[in-house]
Structure 1
Amino acid sequence: MTRFRAESETERRALFTDAITAHRARDSPFCTFEVETEDPTWIQVGEDVLNLDCTDEELDRLESLLNGFSAFSIEELIRPEDADGTNVRIQAYADEERLGGFVERCFRTVYGQPAEYVVWASEV
């Protein structure tokens, strides 16, 4: 894998797919995607599980998004007492391209990122 930053939707989807493919080929514990903002927004992919943090409003949007992805389902919700939000683990039985598409939709729909947002594959 030679690129770790993307800003157009086409580039981001390719980055997500390539990073997930590299993660699986390397048998690494997970890969992490972070949006280039002051308040880092991130999504981790490990094998067939996605991990992300959500506010209550973001969780509502995530649950709505999941209605369109039958191979994806919430596996676990963790609500730490000392945090303002929920850690969500999503079971996803899908190929790398479908996972990449879902990650893009999460950043856009759940987190409300603009069309030109910049993302980094910070861990693969």
Structure 2
Amino acid sequence: MTRFDAETLTDRRDLFADAIEAHRERRSPFITIEPEPTPAEMAAADDEDLPEDAPEQTVPWIQLADDTVNLDCTDAELERVKTLLEEYPDFRIDDLTSPADAHGTNVRITARADPERLGAFFDRIFREVYGREEDYRAWVVEI
């Protein structure tokens, strides 16, 4: 893999699919994908008065390990994940973890699919669950 970021719909989905293929070929433990932080997320991250686990402070991310998709979300985002999964009947939520000291839920989804389908799913999560604009930039930050 030679590129690690993309900002158009087609390029992001191709990037995600390429990262998934690289992950599988290398048998790496997981991949992590993040969108470029929004100005509000960057400002919140710089605000020392916010608790460290405040949801506004967290840039969303998606991890894939084998066939398990892992992400953190707020209650509203969780509802959007569930709605999105209605269009992916072969994907299912396996585990929801909400630690008492956290402001959200960790979601683990079993998603057995080819890299292109997973890439499209990841892009939709960033846009439909996390509210990113159509032209957001995403980064594969770890393979």
Match of 1:75 among 80, 83, 94: 94
TM-score of the aligned structures, taking structure 2 as reference length: 0.85
Q: How many residues align?
A: 124
Question: How far off is 1:71 after superposition?
Answer: 1.4
> Residue 101 of structure 1 aligns to a residue in which SS?
helix
2: CA distance, partners of 1:72 / 1:32: 19
Residues 23-77 of structure 1, C-alpha deviations (whole Å, 9 max, x = no match): 0000001000011102411000111010000100000000000000011100000
5+ residue gaps, structure 2, are: 43-57
Q: Could you say which structure has the higher strand fraction?
A: 1
TM-score of the aligned structures, taking structure 1 as reference length: 0.98
1: CA distance, partners of 2:120 / 2:62: 13
Question: How far off is 1:110 after superposition?
Answer: 0.5
Residue 34 (1) aligns with residue 34 (2): yes
Structure 1's consecutive aligned runs of 4 or more residues displaced over 3 angstroms after TM superposition are none
In structure 1, what is the equivalent of residue 83 of structure 2?
64
Match of 1:49 among 36, 43, 68: 68
Question: How far off is 1:22 after superposition?
Answer: 0.2
Please identify the structure whose Cα radius of gyration is greater: 2
Residue 118 (1) aligns with residue 132 (2): no
In structure 1, what is the equivalent of residue 117 of structure 2?
98
Write the letter of the residue equivalent to 1:76. Answer: D
In structure 1, what is the equivalent of residue 106 of structure 2?
87
Identity of matched residues, %:
55
Q: CA RMSD in A?
A: 0.7
1: CA distance, partners of 2:79 / 2:87: 14
5+ residue gaps, structure 1, are: none
